[in-house]
Every structure is written in C-alpha cells, then in structure tokens.
Structure 1
Amino acid sequence: MTKETQAITSGALYLNQNRKVAVLDYNKKYIKNIFELINSDELRSVVSQFLASRKQVDSNTTFEKAGTETYLKTLKSIVLDEEGAFATFNRQEILASIEDLYSFYRSFLRVSTINLHDNDVVASEFMTIDNRFNELVIELYRTIEEKLQGHLNKTYRQVNAGTNACVLTQTIKWPAPKSYEKLQSVRFLDTLMLRPPMMMHTKSNKREGVFSEVSDNPITKFEGSREEWYCFPAKIGESLAYIYFHRDYFVSGLSLANLFEVADRKSIEGQKPDLILLFGLAETEGDVSHYYHDEANDIWVGEVPYNDKTTYFGYMKKMCLTLHNLHMIDKGKLPIHGSMVRISFSNGKTKTVVFFGDSGAGKSESIEALQEIADDKIVSMETIFDDMGSFTLTDGEPGLYAQGTETGAFVRLDDLSSAVAFNNMDRGVYLNPERKNARVIIPANAYERIIQHHEIDMWVYANNYSDQIGLHQFDDKAEAEETFISGKRRALGTTDEVGMTTTFFANPFGPVQEEAKTRPIIEKVFDKLYDDKVYVGEIYTHLGNDKSKDSLNESAQELLNVLMNS
C-alpha cells in the first residue's frame, strides 16, 4: 500500500501529493495574519513539496534551486520591503515561481476541519472562520505578486485560494456492539460547507466488478486512528449508514454531501446504524470490495481497499447502495435500479414514471429527451430518485409504493444538456470533467420528499440494444418479468464491461448478490402491478446503436403521447 508515499504532516496540515488531498485542522492552529502565514510550518511544508515536485520534472530555476529556507526568506524580504530583496534573484523569475507555487497548492483538494466540542459559537461562525483564512491566502499571494510586478492589479479574481471546503466535526457516542468500539473515537461530519463549482480529480474514473460477500466481519481489520479517519453519517432511504473513510478519500467523502442526507446528532446519538462502510482499509480479501451481514447485531458491513482504483466515487456510492439494497431485500422490499419522476402536464394530468435499467441503458437520457420534446406540455418534473429506489408491498392502500434513496444525482456530463450542466454549476461537484465518463453530482430533491410513499403509474425498461423505436407495453406478465429479470443492455463504457451483457434484474447492487431472496419479491410486485393495471413496458433508447438524439426523441414522443392520453 502506498498511501504514506508523498504524504506529510506538518503542524496543522496534512498533505498527500499522491492523492492531491490537503487537510488543515483549525483546532491545532488558526493563522490570523499574513505574517503568521509566511512564518508557518504549514507554508514551509507546501513550499518544500512544491520544490521537490519541480526537481522531478527538471523545471526548477536558480531561485527554486536555492532551497526552501532561501525561498521563504526571499518572500519575507519582499513582503517587508527590505532593501536588497531582489539582489540575488531575478524579479520575473521569482514572480513566475510564485504563480506556479500558488497553482501547485490550489491543485489539491483543500479541506479545513473544525471540531465542534459542543461549542455554539464555533457552529455559527465556522464559515466566517474559513472565509478569513481564504482571504489571508489571497492577501499574501497578491501582496507578493504586486510588489514583484511593481504595480497593482487591474483585475481581481476571488478564487477559493485557501480551501475548497470546510467541515465541522463532532464526536458522538452511539451504542457500538462488541468489536465495533474502535469506531467510537472517529469523528462524525456534522456540517459541511462546499465552495462550488468544485472540480475534483481522482486517479480512477471507472468502476469494475461486483461486490461479493465474505464470511468474516471486516470490522476486525479496522485499525484506523482518529487523525486519519472520518465518518459521514448518511440517511440512505430509510437506512442509517455510518460511512467511515480514510482522509485520502476526502474527494468521495465530500461528494456524499450532494448525494445523501447528512444525519443529525439526534439521529446518531444512541442509535445503532443499519449499515457501516469501511472505505480505505489497508487490506481486503483479494484486494477488492466486499460486504458482510452481521446477523447478531443486524448490521450490514462493507469494506473497500485503499488503492488507486477505488478513488473513483462510484465505488463509495455503489457500495453504500449495495448495503442499503441488501438491507431492503432482507426486509422484503424490492430494490429498483432506475429513475423515478413525477410529471405534471398542461392538460392537468400528473403521472409518476419509473425508468428501469443498468448503467448506460438510457434512463437519464429518456427523461431529458422527454423534457426536450414536450416543450410547454410539461408544467413540472420532480425527481423522486435518480439511480436507486425501492418498491414496498403493503396489506393496505396503495398496496405498492416507491421510495427513493438519494437526495442528489450522480450523472455523466455527456448525458446532460449544456443548459442543465451550466445551470447547476453553482451547486455541482464535478469529478474529472476533462476525462471520459466525466461526472457531476447535483442536488435533486429534499430527503423528506424522496422517502414519502409514492404511487406508480408507469414502469418502463430502458432498452438500449434493440433497433426498434418507440414504446412497447407488455400485455403478458411473464414476458415483462423475463425482460426485467434478464437485465439485458449494451455496455457503453461506464464500467469495465463491453458488448452485450445481462445482469439479474439489471441491478448488480443487491439483487445479484441475493437472487434467491429477490425472486419471490419480484413475483409479488409484478402480480400487484398487473392486478392494478399499471402500465409495464419498455422504451427503446437506441443508445447502443447510435448516439444521435433522433431515435430517442421519437421514442420520447410516443411516451409523451401515452402519458398525456391515458
């Protein structure tokens, strides 16, 4: 494992070049002015790492070759207007290096943390505290820059110079069963402040394989310290999840804030979680991800190893959803891999539609195509869930209802129109935006709304492999079941799969692992849908055949006609 390679801790700063993550602990030190900043051990460490990185690419100048202490001494002389500040090194050479140092630091995901200690003043002022640090970093940079230039700037850009995010943490006691006590010291994320648009980068940009069960509880492998680990307490549907992650995975840990509801103190204190995820363990069986059902304590436990591959956010998201779905199956509920929207039309009708299918089948694309061709025929469209939900059978009314899991949407940028992508820049978390399979996580709906009991008017399978166009209703229940259960699709590069694939019930996150338990629930759900004469069909997205929107728009037009006239 290489997590300590290129990682240093200096005073209040943790810096890992390999993961491009920097964590600043304000409880250890809070810098109050530019003179404290320029004399700090933290800045010295950043300069040292910067100069080391310059040697690796053999691009350092005479000024940079002089070493860390000379570098800092020169900067101090410039700030203090000392005579001879530019006597040894060329002014333009220093300026160019300062620009590169500034860019080097800002290339990291920079997270500041403050532990609450039940302090109401800290709770109310933490954003002000972090804003002041950002101002200090900009002030020091501009002071040096303008003195080197010999004149003031004419254009100022208020970038996030100090941090991208600030996190309030809190130690909260919960009834940890035997062998889980070691988790008690890890601090929970209480409140998060993000500075969007957040453009974050990871070494990996694709998820591989499926998660499998192990016979031993992963909790026995956890040896994490309070300094290195954090816990994101999440409400995933009606499951309470404690998501523990190593600080080098702060990209994923912060991204969760745009995807799941943060559980408050009242939801945690005295509460045993339904799900526990240990993300960034030193070793796992086969160096891949697994889950374990602790039946004695009724906790689903997941483990994900520390490596480059698991830096992709899909690993954290999908392991969380796998654990949740396994929990749902255990309770007799049916996990749905799909999107659910509630659409209000101009003719006064309202329909709730569930689009079903595995990654790349065209669920999101179908919704967007429907919006594009509908024009003013759609008054509003509400997202109940974007990727995963569940169906619940009841003895009373309505007999069958749906719920969501996520408050946000994790979507490919290629799937979004430029209008949607740009309209959400002030809220979005963007992951590897310059690469294939670029993603954005945007808020979609309130937690209270997604967990309400929603009736279902239509359930359609997103068929991306057929050359047909339009919409097809299954008159035969057996044919419908076979189509949904077979989970056919043509892989489009969102995972490591290629060509035509089949996945049990189009859901490798729970149903695949517990097929025997899932099949009886599927049977009961289809019985209920057909008894209630709910529209069950498939929409031909055509995405596996061509990327043009024409075919999909034709299918969306037929879908619109059925919804408005039924």
Structure 2
Amino acid sequence: MTESEKVETSALYMNPDREVAVINYTSKYVTDIFTLINSKEAEEVVRLFLEDRRHTPESNRSDFEDADPKTYINTLKAVLLDRPDAFDTYKREEILFSIEELYSYYRSYLRIGVVNQHGSAATAKNFMQMDNKFNDVVIEAYRTVEEKLQGSPNKTYRQVSAGTSACILTQSVDWPIPEGYEALKPIRFLNTISLRPPMMMKTPSNKREGTFTAVPDNPIAKFHGARDEWYCFPAKIGESLAYIYFQRDYFVSGISLANLFEVASEKDVAGHKPDEILLFGLPKTEGDVCHYHHDEENDIWVGEVPYNDKTTYFGYMKKMCLTLHNLHMIYENRLPIHGSMVRIKFSNGKNKNVVFFGDSGAGKSESLEALQEIADDKILSQETIFDDMGSFTLTGDGDLYAQGTEIGAFVRLDDLSSAVAFNNMDRGVYLNPDRKNARVIIPADTYNRVVGHHGVDMWIYANNYDKDIGIHQFDNEEDAKATFIEGKRFALGTTDEVGMSTTFFANPFGPVQEEKRTRPIIDKVFKHFFDKGTYVGEIYTHLGTDKSKDSLNESAKQLLDVLWNS
C-alpha cells in the first residue's frame, strides 16, 4: 500500500491497510449532516470506499460505484435536497445499494474520536457528549439518505456505533523526563477513555511468537515519533507505573488496554518518572523483533516493538507490558506468577484464596470455570484477583502476600463458559472473533482489589499433559519446586509453540530472561509455603488430550472437596 491510499487531513486519518481511523474533533467538529456531506473528510472516505469497491466483482457492485468521489457526493446532495435531477444518471436502487455498502465499509474500521483537553475542565466533562453528537450526525445522515431513496421511513432502527467505536480525551502532562528521553515530550497522554462495547476488531496477526530479549542499547534513541502519530497510555500495572507509547495504526491494541489495565490519573503521571516505558510501533528494531533494555542510571525498563503486521496481535502489547513489569518485580525481590488467583466464598462460611499456576493453555482459567460449573450451591461467589499475571511478595516479618497486575482478562472465546461469555458480552472488546484463537478482553475486578495484599491458601499447578484425574498435593518442597520450575505443558497453538514444551517457571515473561535472579526468590517462596503448611499441588486439566472437558470437571470436583473440607 502506498501513502497516497491513506486519508491524511487535519481532522481525519484513515489507514485501509490496518482498518484504523482517527477523527480529530479538536481540528474540526461536525454538528449537522450538511456540514458532514460537504466536508473534505466525507469525500476522502468515499474515495477510499470506491477504491475498495473496484476490487469487487462487477456483479456485486453498482454502476454508481464507477463514479468519481465528487460525482458520488454531489449525487447524495441531490438526494438530500430532493432535486429532480438526482436520478438522471444513476438509478435509485443502485444508489441505495451503494449507500448501504458505504455505511458498512466505514463502520468496518476501528474509529477513534480524539479530543485534546488543553487544560479545559469543560472539555473533560463534555467530550463524551461531543462524541455522542457526532455519532448522531452520522446515523442521521445515513438514515435520511436511505429513507429518501427507499421512499418510506424504516420500521426498525438499530442504534449502532455509526460514527466512532471509541473516544479518547488526551492531555499533555509534565513529568520528569530524563536526559535522552526528550523526544517523548510532545506525545499526549490518554486522560479519559470512552468505549462503545461490544467492540469487534480485526488485526492481520492472531498469534504471538517467541520471547523478548535484552539489548545493550536503549531503544529510546530510535524514537522520533510525531505528536499527531503517537499516543501514550499511562497504565498502572500492579503497583508499577508504565508509559505505553503506541503508533496510531496500533489503536486496536492501544484502546484495548482500557479493558486490561487501570488508566493512571493525571496526578499519578504529573511529576512522576515511570518504572517502565514501552515504544510500540518503532520503524525498525534490532533484528525486527521485540526487545527490552534496563536503563540502570534512571531505573527504567524500556521495551521496543517493531511496526509490522505480526505485532498487531494484542498478545504482543499485553505480554511486552507484563515482561517489563515482571522484570521490575524481580529486581525488587518479588516473584512474578504466571497464573490466575481467585477468592472463593463458600456457603459453609469459609473463604479461600487459590492461585492457579502455569503457562499459556495449561488450563488456569478453564479450571476456575469448571469449578464454578460443578459447585452447585457450595460456592456463593468467585472473585478474580488476577487472571494471567501476579506476584508474590515476602514481607520483612516473614509473611507473604499476592497481588495482581491487570483489572481485566484476555481470554480465548472458545474457553469461555456460556454464562461468563453472555454476562460480559456487552462490556467486551473482541479481537478477530471469526478466526482461530479468537479473543475477548473483559473487565474482571477493580484496581484496588487487584493490588490489595492477598494471602494464599492454595497454590496449584495446571497440568494439562498427564492422564491422571483429580488433584495431587506435593509431599515435599523439592518435588513441588521441580515441577513448577520445569514449567511443562502441552502447547495448544496459542503461541508459535505446538506439542510438549517446557519453560522455566512456566513464565517466559521475566523469569526466563532473569533466571539467575529469580531462583533465590523461588527458593524463599517455596520454603515459606512448606514451613507454613500451605497446600501446594497440581490439578490435572487434560486440555492437551481431552477436548470434552469431562476429565477436567472430575478434577474440579476433587478440588472442590479439598477446599470445602479444609
């Protein structure tokens, strides 16, 4: 694709290669349908649409779509004004057919409305109303033309997100920028985000490959991003502060972060150096892959991800953020945990905090869902503390607590129970729902709950490869440690791995990169649990061998019995 095929005006950016559109309300704000149809931006949308339609077989498109953009727009104006010459050249039916296609084409893009706050409190309060009004204008324009062409009003109206998929309020914030990082200063921070779920989004890539490695040179030297092309999502990942800079063609990943991480407030950002910085969408990285660098002088973990089709998969955004966070945790003598933690309230009055541990596809989330499905009236509630990544911290007085990193869950659609899927459908961000490894990002818990200090009653390894059924408690510390450290699993194709594999401590996002620093922390954590008599074991999930989930449900029943009776 050449640059000329994109739309690039002060008010609108559209990239058909990535199906991303950015609408800058600050540069131009449309408040009525006549201003909309007379705008340069509307003509540019029509231009892209007609170029796209010319790749469609003639039998599936109308003669009206052979028109040039100006003729197309002028015909629509004639329809709107009820001019008698509106149908001199093209038939009413073919114009109507094309308008339906144009409407669908525009809505196939991820469309982000942007308002720059510039310190205005009024804008902060009203930006969602601005976005709502623009959506109303777009849907009014479509319906007015449609009903004039069909000669009658509709009997059914669908209130879809006609104008935008989401809207963001951006703001420049002063923070102590270290020497060498000055290129980041012009980039605005996302202050407030308004989503229109359920959001269905597409990316060229739908799988993550490989691990992230260290580089000796700071990637910040490669950053030369323009203010209008880059944005910063300030995230609170656990107790870390991360500034996630992304190029606008990655808005699918950038906006999806809102369902996964807490947005740091202006107070959190102003005057604060981040623990981590991610540069997502650099023109080139070393070897054209993902890396990180520890800036020891400023104590900042800096990640780099190259601009290419492969890295459009949201897993790159999420896992790079978590890798930087986990490395930060290791250097603070905390132990990153690849797993999920749930607080279960039982009808017998007991409460249990359970951590499921394992690499991608091992059955952590599936075990939780199976437990809920077979529990009947024994379980009153299950609260997710973290879904994918957390950490264990040993305190100075010999205690241990767990914390999470994310306020949401990034899960495969196929792995969701129908109850969980339907209960969260209206809040979800869906990625490639028509493809293998389709994913959804759904909110899970509040930030304060996620980063609270939670005790651990049971730590259990998700074993998806052995044929045993049920759960097994380790008799001694060394056997338990060996299983957890080996990180064995049957890979299910959610990454580039397939078949049996092992990963140090089942966590390729931090511990693998810093194994030497991680091992002493592992030793201390296991000693703590066995000294305290905490249940450390494994659950046989059978996900690598039994797709029916019958065996997993049997294992979940044994788990429930142990929790109920302990």
The TM-score, its normalising length taken from structure 1, stands at 0.99
**Superimposed CA distance per residue, residues 99-157 of structure 1 (whole angstroms, 9 cap, x where no aligned partner):** 00000100000000000011111111111111110010011111110111011111111
For the pair 1:516 / 2:477, whether they are aligned, the reply is no
Distance 1:412 1:192, change over 3 A: same
1:520-539 mapped onto 2 (5 Å cutoff): 520-539=520-539
Aligned equivalents of 2:5, 2:20: Cα separation in 1: 11
Deviations 1:459-492 (Å, cap 9, x if unpaired)? 0000000000000000111000000000000001
- In 1, Cα distance between equivalents of 2:150 and 2:6: 34
Matched, 1:412 2:429: no
C-alpha distance in 2, partners of 1:163/1:148? 25
Deviations 1:142-174 (A, max 9, x none): 111011101111111111000000100000010
What is the distance in 1 between the residues matched to 2:3 and 2:483?
48
| Superposed displacement of residue 549, structure 1 | 1.6
Q: Indicate whether 1:349 and 2:311 are aligned.
A: no
| Contact residue 236 and residue 405 of structure 1 kept, 8 A | yes
Alignment correspondent of 1:372: 373
Tell me if 1:188 matches 2:189. yes
Corresponding residue for residue 565 of structure 2: 565
Which secondary structure does the structure 2 equivalent of 1:366 belong to?
A: helix
Aligned residues: 564
Provide the C-alpha distance between the structure 2 equivalents of 1:192 and 1:348, rounded to a whole number of angstroms. 39
On the 8 A contact 1:11/1:42 being kept in 2, the answer is: no
SS of residue in 2 equivalent to 1:375: coil
Match of 2:376, SS? helix
Alpha-carbon distance between aligned partners in 2 of 1:214 and 1:102, rounded to the nearest angstrom: 46
State how 1:119-198 maps to structure 2 within 5 Å: 119-198=120-199
1:190-209 mapped onto 2 (5 Å cutoff): 190-209=191-210
- Structure 2 Cα separation of the partners of residues 476 and 528 of structure 1: 12
1:14 Cα deviation (Å)?
0.1
1:546 has 2:546 as partner:
yes
Tell me by how many angstroms 1:396 deviates.
Answer: 1.6
Contact 2:62 2:97 in 1 (8 A): no
Q: Percent identity, aligned pairs only?
A: 70
Q: Which residue of 2 aligns with 1:15?
A: 14
Question: Given residue 9 of structure 2, which amino acid in structure 1 is its aligned partner?
Answer: S
- Please say if residues 11 and 41 of structure 1, whose CA atoms lie closer than 8 Å, have aligned partners that are also in contact: no
* Residues 330-383 of structure 1: CA deviation (Å, up to 9, x unaligned): 000000000000101011111100000000000000000000110110011111
2:337 alignment partner in structure 1? 336
Question: Larger deviation: 459-468 or 50-59?
Answer: 50-59
Distance 1:216-1:258 versus aligned 2 partners, 3 A rule: same
Deviations 1:202-240 (A, max 9, x none): 111100000000011000000100010000000000100
1:427 is aligned to 2:427? yes
SS of match in other structure, 1:425: helix
Match of 1:325 in 2: 326
1:285 corresponds to which residue? 286
**What SS is found at the alignment partner of 1:84?**
helix
Taking the TM superposition and a 5 Å limit, the aligned residue runs for 1:42-121 are: 42-59=41-58, 60-121=61-122
Residues in 2 aligned to 1:12 and 1:549: alpha-carbon distance in whole angstroms = 51
Amino acid paired to 2:545: N
Residue 137 of structure 1 aligns to a residue in which SS? helix
Deviation at 1:61, TM superposition (A): 2.9
Deviates more, 1:56-65 or 1:362-371: 56-65
The whole-number CA distance in structure 1 between the counterparts of 2:56 and 2:96 is: 19
Partner of 1:470 in structure 2? 470
In 2, Cα distance between equivalents of 1:224 and 1:27: 20
Q: Give the whole-Å Cα distance in 1 for the aligned partners of 2:70 and 2:452.
A: 60
Is the 8 Å Cα contact of residues 10 and 45 (structure 1) preserved in structure 2?
Answer: no
Report the equivalent of 2:388: 387
Matches of 1:363 and 1:113, distance apart in 2: 38
Q: What residue is the counterpart of 2:222 in the other structure?
A: 221
Distance 2:54 2:418 in 1: 40
Q: Cα–Cα, structure 1 residues 403 and 178, in superposed 2: closer, same or farther, change >3 Å?
A: same
Partner Cα separation in structure 1 for residue 397 and residue 516 of structure 2: 26
| Aligned residues of 1:61 and 1:93 also touching (Cα < 8 A) | yes
| 1:491 partner SS | strand
* CA–CA separation in structure 1 for the residues paired with 2:105 and 2:529: 57
Matches of 1:249 and 1:186, distance apart in 2: 15
How many angstroms does 1:438 deviate by? Answer: 0.7
Counterparts of 1:123 and 1:10 in 2: how far apart (Å)? 25
Rounded Cα–Cα distance in structure 1 between residues aligned with 2:5 and 2:336 = 42
Which letter maps to 1:101? L
Q: Distance in 2 between matches of 1:419 and 1:343?
A: 18
Q: Which amino acid aligns with 1:266?
A: K
**Residue 430 of structure 1 contacts residue 441 of structure 1 at CA under 8 Å; is this kept in 2?**
yes
Instruction: Identify if the C-alpha distance between structure 1 residues 180 and 393 changes in structure 2 by more than 3 Å, giving closer, same or farther.
Output: same
CA–CA separation in structure 2 for the residues paired with 1:64 and 1:555: 59
Unpaired runs of 5+ residues, structure 2, are none
Alpha-carbon contact 2:167-2:193 (below 8 Å) kept: yes
> CA offsets, 1:410-439, max 9 Å, x none?
111111112211111111111111111111
Amino acid in structure 1 at the alignment position of 2:15: N
Q: Does 1:442 align with 2:442?
A: yes
Counterpart for residue 31 of structure 2: 32
Task: Provide the secondary structure at the position in 1 that maps to 2:94.
Answer: helix
Indicate the larger mover: 425-434 or 190-199: 425-434
Letter in structure 1 aligned against 2:282: L
Residue equivalent to 2:499: 499
Distance 2:67 2:292 in 1: 52
CA distance in 1, matches of 2:213, 2:291: 5
Query: 2 CA distance for matches of 1:199 and 1:509?
Result: 28
1: CA distance between counterparts of 2:86 and 2:412? 50
1:548 to partner: Cα distance: 1.1
Matching residue's letter, 1:428: G
CA distance in 1, matches of 2:490, 2:2: 36
How far apart, in 2, do the equivalents of 1:379 and 1:151 lie? Answer: 53
Secondary structure of 2:492's counterpart equals: coil
- Residues of 2 paired with 1:124 and 1:8: CA distance? 30
Deviations 1:308-331 (A, max 9, x none): 000000000000000000000000
Equivalent AA in structure 1 for residue 325 of structure 2 = H
2:236 counterpart of 1:239: no
For the residues of structure 1 that align with 2:381 and 2:254, how far apart are their CA atoms?
A: 32
Equivalent pair of 2:197/2:426 in contact (CA under 8 Å): yes
Alpha-carbon contact 1:9-1:15 (below 8 Å) kept: yes
Q: Which moved more, 1:79-88 or 1:218-227?
A: 79-88
- Cα distance in structure 1, aligned partners of 2:513 and 2:3: 34
Moved more, 451-460 or 415-424: 415-424
Find the aligned partners of 1:337 and 1:11 in 2 and give their Cα distance.
Answer: 44
Task: Name stretches of at least 5 consecutive residues in structure 1 with no aligned partner.
Answer: none
Match of 1:310 in 2: 311
- Secondary structure, in 3 states, of the residue corresponding to 1:206? coil
CA gap 1:209/1:3 in 2 versus in 1, 3 angstroms: farther
Q: CA deviation at 1:63?
A: 1.4
Q: Is the 8 A contact 1:204 1:308 kept in 2?
A: yes
1:5, distance to aligned residue in structure 2 (A): 7.0
Q: Is the 8 A contact 1:6 1:18 kept in 2?
A: no
Give, in angstroms, the shift of residue 451 of structure 1.
0.8
Q: Is the 8 A contact 2:462 2:540 kept in 1?
A: yes
Question: Hey, which bits of structure 1, 4+ residues long, moved more than 6 A?
Answer: none
- Give the drift of 1:3: 8.6
TM-score (norm 2): 0.99
Amino acid at match of 1:110: R
Distance 1:3 1:515, change over 3 A: farther
